[in-house]
Amino acid sequence: MLSERPITPSTLSRKDLPWQIKWDINTCTKCGRCTSVCPVNAIELGVFRKRDVKPPMGLSAKPTTEFSTFYGIRQRTDPAYACIGCAMCNMVCPNNAIEPTRQYDSTTLQFQNNRGGQPRTRGGRRNNSESLLDQLKFIRISMLTDPALDAGRHEFEMRTLLGRVLSPEAELQCFRDNGWKPPVREIYPLVIGGMSFGALSPNMWEGLQMGVAYLNEELNMPVRMCTGEGGCPPRLLRSRFLKYVILQIASGYFGWDEIIHAIPDMKEDPCAIEIKYGQGAKPGDGGLLMWYKVNKLIAAIRGVPKGVSLPSPPTHQTKYSIEEAVAKMIQSMSMAWGFRVPVYPKISASSTSLAVLNNLVRNPYAAGLAIDGEDGGTGAAYNVSMNHMGHPIASNLRDCYKALCVAGAQNEIPLIAGGGIGKHGNLAANAGALIMLGASMVQIGKYVMQAGAGCLGSEKDRCNVCNIGVCPKGITSQDPRVYRRLDPEKVAERVVDFYLSFDTELRKVFAPLGRSTSLPVGMSDALGISDKDAADRLDIKYVI
Amino acid sequence: MCRLFALTSRDPVSPMRAIDALNVMKEGHDGSGVGLFLSGLGGPWEELKEYPILSGIFTEDGLVQVFDYMAKKGFQSKFSVTFKPDIEPPVGTPKRGTYASIAYKVPDDWKGLTKEQADRNLVQTRLNLRAMGEEGGDIMVFSFWPDTIMIKEVGDPLAIAEYLKLDREELYARHILAQGRQNTNYAINLYACHPFFIEGISTMTNGENTAFVPIREYLMSRGVTGYQGYQSDSEVFTHIAHFATRKLGLDISSYKHVITPMNDEEMADHPDREFLVSLKRSCRKLIIDGPNCVIGCLPDGSMFMAQDRKKLRPGVVGGNPELGIYGFSSEICGLNAAIPDRDRTKDFQPMHLDTAIVGPDCREVLQCSQKDPLRLRH
Ligand code: SF4
Ligand code: SF4
């Protein structure tokens, strides 16, 4: 490298990069696998020239200079090719000669990754490791007057209701009059949240569907999976597995055509319809399905030309107001399936969640409300949206639940909470806490990717290249060369594994609290937190 | 843990019989309190069946306030039984004043009211008095209902019974619920002491109701006069019984379908499956969870016992149809003490699907299983 190389505003040294490649010349076999697998071309094969000065003994002979060349790995310092720490290079290296290491004191890249006047977009997560859900403790352990239950031996009822549940009075009236009753589904309280067919690779999708089908058909766990916006593969729409699927239809109507065409051929009704108005990770903004991922199949399903970026609109332009949108879309979706399918909106948690809920209470067709908190996952979005927008789920959910209590309609409109559940692996504890704060069920996305398919992303901005179609694990890529890395059968196996262990863990939480015959929705007396303000805000016990 | 004992008899009997049964079961309770519900009253009350009786504990001041208040509202007192102990109370029992049961004639302007409105007014009157008492601590009201007396006090049941001379003839009753022990989970508060009462329905429970908070929130949001207070986690059982029978018009044998619905397999071949599924869904908020035994008495004098699904608390019903007396006990020794003269082979321990009901005629124990076809709804 020339000593007088030009220094521009975005010239970085290796030291400036958050991820550093450690490469060991002694163990490297020079196979070149690492460079070929690197999703962002952060490393390249390099030819290094080395000058060795050899001073001989004595004074008479002159020192000699020897030049040698050797081959090795060079980490690029161009911000566009910065290493993302995915460690794929290490995964393919036969000798562990190469690995990325995190350098925590380097923040320089953050100032450089908006090149060409384009703000950074990324897939992945919020990159904030705080988690209020992890701070919640279950404090109401039954010990004396009520011996704790045995999680392994007692009967446990772990199902929840999705759909508008009538009040006891209305239900009896309806039974007497043989009137129309809103459809209600009994499902498992942990739902795989909306991840679209465009965002996920076909292998990932297939794996999830297989896992869900297995859980339902072999293990009798009524697990449901949401499709995410942008339609659903036509074959699934016409298959009997549709009953395990919650079809998401976004306010932008992507993929709706495909669904509507399939309605006459549907053998089963879908489990429910989720109308997406917002996502937790990018509230008020649409998702970005970037051109890299819009291949022929995705283009066909969504009804767009191939290879164009698809920023989905936050809400459809024809919508005049959220009230109108919610009312009309719920009505028309319900009609499409003859009022046999629960239809509910999904919104991002925000200061206006209560207003939406208010609309729903008075809408007899509204089957629930999904609220997605700030930590909610996403295919892709702008950095700024992901890091700074949104409302934490716990307090938002609590407000909504309490509003329902005041209206006397708690659990009549099931609340579905999402956003940051199992962020640090504590899936059952987080889900249990949200149920006790008032959620009838919870939905997860990132956890499924991480546990089900080994997604490498972390809260420390690791990987997070889901948007550009190079997902090193093949989870979020539409490129067959990449996604064939992922074995759908294994994904299915992992999904089943973590569902079963979730189930056991949830029992281990509920049993000592003395609950087993119904989900402890709203059992807020079981929760405590060592943060006074949080305790006051959530109306739970303050414990230190 | 609380000990429960209930008696239902064709002829009025002394509440001491129930108290003695509690005393036999003393091993399980710490003697920290006693609560009594008496209905189907004998003695002087036989003639006064239609007049609501206000029962509670009052200081001198409190009594004056109550008389003023009731007079102002147009109630006329017809008869009263007051008792002011003149001896020192037993250890742990505070000196409170007068234990009174006063029968009133309802105001004339209630004439045009429907039964439902009149009932609600009675509840409201009780709540108003209770609220008045909560300010100054001079008034404590446990019930205001025809043919019903309630007594609650802190202390050992037997000592209290002697102190309050519960053997008095004015307290003879056909239906008696007695519970031993004060609240242990929450603060000591007479209102937290079982049995609980609303509009002729009274229940008592042992064990801990872990679903208390969500159920309380749900009941409070129903907008029913009287669903309030909740000093004890067991108070909700009474209100659920009230909600199921009075508000939903269900038969008491359906009470168990509300608090502990069957699971899918059990329900699969039930003739009323469709109804039960919808009941389970809409009443999901009222499902109890906890090892509880519930014993209750209804306005018509029938008495019932039901267990939670896990049935960790025993409970037994037995009696003598010839003598016309039946006992509901949380322990078999209590039953043996109170009704030794019975065919023990006919004792019934309701299991996780059963409700045991003894009608006002005290002839037999009706055993309803949740698997049976539903009885006609009201
Ligand atoms: S860690 Fe990933 S991004 Fe970094 S060099 Fe290795 S393969 Fe490339
Ligand atoms: S492994 Fe794939 S899905 Fe996970 S963060 Fe990386 S690119 Fe995204």
A398-445: pLDDT as tens digits: 999 999 999 989 889 999 999 989 999 999 999 999 999 999 999 999
- Top mutation candidate among A28, A33, A76, A86 for ligand 1, by most atoms within 8 Å of CB: A86
Report the alpha-carbon distance of residue A388 to residue B92 in Å, rounded: 60
The predicted pLDDT at position A153 comes to 79
**Based on C-alpha coordinates, what's the Rg of chain B?**
20
User: If you average pLDDT over residues B22-30, what whole number do you get?
Assistant: 75
Q: Does position A533 have pLDDT exceeding 90, yes or no?
A: yes
Asked if the model's pLDDT at residue B30 lies above 70, the reply is no
pLDDT exceeds cutoff 90 at B299: yes
pLDDT score for B183 = 57
Q: What is the ipTM of this complex?
A: 0.90
B150-197 pLDDT, tens digit each: 998 888 888 888 888 888 888 899 999 998 875 555 566 788 888 999
Q: Which of A157, A168, A407 lies closest to B263 in CB terms? A: A157
Check whether domain A132-453+486-509+527-542 has CATH 3.50.50.60, yes or no: no
- What is d(CA A348, CA A418) in angstroms, rounded to the nearest whole number? 9
Backbone angles phi, psi at A90, to 5 degrees: -70, -35
Residue A39 gets which letter from DSSP? T
Mean pLDDT to the nearest integer, B344-364: 91
The C-alpha atoms of residue A194 and residue A450 are separated, in whole angstroms, by: 15
Contact list, A157 vs chain B (CB under 8 Å): 263
B102-144 per-position pLDDT tens digit: 999 989 888 889 999 999 999 999 999 999 888 888 889 999 9
C-alpha–C-alpha distance, residues B27 and A200, integer Å: 64
The answer to whether A150 faces chain B, any CB pair under 8 Å, is no
Question: Is there a contact between B179 and B204 (Cβ–Cβ < 8 Å)?
Answer: yes
Contact with chain A for residue B310, Cβ under 8 A: yes
Residue A315 pLDDT class (50, 70, 90 cuts): low
Which of the following CATH numbers is that of domain A14-106: 3.30.300, 3.30.70, 3.40.30, 1.10.287? 3.30.70
CA distance B368 to B353: 8
* pLDDT over threshold 70, residue B376: no
Q: Is the CB of A415 under 6 A from ligand 2?
A: no
A320 pLDDT more than 90: no
| Mean pLDDT confidence for A124-147 | 82
Q: What's the A89 CA to ligand 1 centre distance in angstroms? A: 5
Mean per-residue pLDDT for B317-345? 90
Degrees, nearest 5: CA angle B351-B354-B358: 115
pLDDT in tens, B270-287: 999 999 999 999 999 999
Give the span between the Cα atoms of A364 and A360, in whole angstroms: 8
Least confident piece of the model among A307-311, B51-55, B70-74, B265-269: A307-311
3-state secondary structure of B274: helix
pLDDT band at A318 (very low <50, low <70, confident <90, very high): low
Averaged over A130-149, what is the pLDDT? 81
Out of B45-54, B180-189, B286-295, give the one with best mean pLDDT: B45-54
Residue A317 has pLDDT above 60, yes or no: no
> Ligand 2, from A455, A458, A470, A477: best to mutate by most atoms within 8 Å of Cβ?
A455
Mutate one of A401, A404, A523 to test the B interface: name it (highest B CB count within 10 A). Answer: A523
Reduced to 3 states (helix: H, G, I; strand: E, B; else coil), residue B11 is: strand
Q: What one-character-per-residue DSSP string does A303-366 give?
A: TS-TT--EE--SS-TT---HHHHHHHHHHHHHHHTTT-S-EEEEEE--TTHHHHHHHHHT-TTB
Q: Is A83 annotated as a binding residue?
A: yes
Contact B218 A140 (CB under 8 A): no
Write out the E strands in B42-88.
52-58, 76-83
Per-residue confidence (pLDDT) for residue A238, from 0 to 100: 93
Kindly tell me the sign of the dihedral angle through the C-alpha atoms of B308, B311, B315, B319: positive
Q: Is A457 in the pocket of ligand 2 (CB under 6 A)?
A: yes
Answer yes or no: are the C-beta atoms of A95 and A27 closer than 8 Å: yes
Look at residue A254 in the predicted model and tell me its pLDDT: 74
CA angle, corner A18, sides to A14 and A19, nearest 5? 80
Task: Read off the pLDDT band of B369 (50, 70, 90).
Answer: very high
Is A31 assigned a ligand-binding role in the annotation?
A: no
Query: How far from chain centre, in Å, is Cα B34?
Result: 13
**Helix (H) or strand (E) run with residue A47 in it:** strand A43-54
Residue A494 CB partners (closer than 8 Å, separation 6+): A211, A451, A452, A453, A454
Cα A462 from Cα A216, distance rounded (Å): 34
Give chain A positions within 8 Å (CB) of B284: 161, 165, 411, 518
**Cα A454 to middle of ligand 1, angstroms:** 16
Neighboring chain A residues of B263 at a CB cutoff of 8 Å? 155, 157
Residues of chain B in contact with residue A405, where contact means CB-CB under 8 angstroms, are: 217-218, 221
State the helix-helix crossing angle for B235-242 and B212-220, rounded to 10 degrees. 40
User: Pick from B222, B248, B290: which is nearest to A408 by CB?
Assistant: B222
Counting from 1 in the atom list of ligand 2, the atom nearest the Cα of A84 is 6
Q: pLDDT for A324-336, tens place per residue?
A: 878 888 999 999 9
- To the nearest whole angstrom, how far is the Cα of B25 from the nearest Cα of chain A? 16
- For residue A254, which of A290, A308, A300 has the smallest C-alpha distance? A300
Q: By the 8 A CB rule, do A474 and A203 touch?
A: yes
Q: A37, A89, A465: which to mutate for ligand 1, most atoms within 8 A of CB?
A: A89
d(CA A335, CA A268): 16
Q: Which residue has the tokens 């965002």?
A: A199
Residue B378 has a pLDDT of 44
Closest residue, chain B, to A435 (C-alpha): B214
Contact A87, A456 (CB under 8 A): yes
Q: Where in chain A are the domains?
A: 14-106, 132-453+486-509+527-542
Size of interface A-B (CB pairs under 8 A): 106
Mean pLDDT of chain B: 88
pLDDT reading at A3 higher than 80 = no
Report chain B residues whose CB lies below 8 A from the CB of A149: 310
How confident is residue A298, by pLDDT bands cut at 50, 70 and 90?
A: confident
**Closest ligand 1 atom, residue A85 Cα:** 1
Whether chain A has a CB inside 8 Å of the CB on B208: the answer is yes
Find, in chain A, the residue whose alpha carbon is nearest to that of B240.
A168
Alpha-carbon distance of B316 to A82, in angstroms, equals: 75
- What distance lies between CA B377 and its chain's CA centroid? 23
B287 touches chain A (CB under 8 A): yes
Q: Which letter, b or e, does each residue of B165-197 get, where b requires 16 or more Cβ atoms within 10 Å of its Cβ? A: ebeeebbbbbbbbbbbbbbbeeeeebbbbbbbb
pLDDT per residue as tens digits for the range A184-204: 999 999 999 988 888 899 999
For the segment A474-484, the average pLDDT, to the nearest whole number, is 92
> Residue A59: its pLDDT value, please?
84
Q: Is the dihedral of CA B271, B272, B278, B282 positive or negative?
A: negative
Residue of B248, B310, B312 lying closest to A169 (CB–CB): B248
pLDDT at B346 over 60: yes
Output the DSSP codes for A249-310: EETT-TTHHHHHHHGGG-SS--SEEEEES--TTSTTS--EE-GGG--HHHHHHHTS-TT--E
Q: How far, in Å, are B40, B44, B177, B184, B205 from residue B173 at the CA level? A: 5, 11, 10, 29, 21
CA–CA–CA angle B78, B81, B87 (5° rounding): 155
The whole-chain average pLDDT of chain A stands at: 89
- Per the CB < 8 Å rule, is A518 touching B291? no
At a CB cut-off of 8 Å and minimum separation 6, what does B297 contact?
B6, B8, B37, B39, B175, B177, B201, B202, B203, B303, B304
Q: Per the CB < 8 Å rule, is A523 touching B263?
A: no
Domains and CATH numbers, chain B: 3-49+147-369 (3.60.20.10)
- B211 has a chain A CB within 8 A of its CB: yes
| Collapsed DSSP state (helix, strand, coil) of residue A7 | coil
What is the number of helices (H) and of strands (E) in chain A?
Answer: 18, 21
Q: Determine the Cα–Cα distance for residues B184 and A240; give it in Å rounded to an integer.
A: 54
> pLDDT grade, residue A40 (50/70/90)?
very high
Question: Angle formed by the axes of helices A427-437 and A393-407, to 10°?
Answer: 30
Q: How far is the CA of A48 from the centre of ligand 1 (A)?
A: 20
What is the pLDDT averaged over residues A48-71?
A: 90
Among A88-102, A267-281, A348-362, B326-340, name the most confident range: A88-102
Q: Residue A145 above 70 pLDDT? A: no
Give the CA dihedral B328, B331, B334, B336, nearest 10 degrees.
90
Could you count the other beta carbons within 10 Å of the beta carbon of residue A75? Answer: 21
- The rounded Å distance from CA A37 to ligand 1 centre is 8
b/e per residue B15-28 (b: at least 16 CB within 10 A): bbbbbbbbbbbbeb
- How far does residue A100's CA lie from ligand 1's centre (Å)? 7
C-beta separation of B258 from B244 below 8 A: yes
What pLDDT digit, counting tens, does each position of B209-255 carry? 888 999 999 999 998 999 988 888 888 999 999 999 999 999 998 99
Rounded distance from Cα A119 to ligand 2 centre (Å): 20
**Is B329:A185 a contact under the CB 8 Å cutoff?**
no
Retrieve residue B317's tokens: 């019903």
The pLDDT of residue A250: 81
Residue of A172, A178, A404 for testing the chain B interface, max B β-carbons within 10 Å: A172
Helix, strand, coil percentages, rounded to 5, for chain B: 35, 30, 40
**Under an 8 A CB cutoff, do B217 and A175 touch?**
no
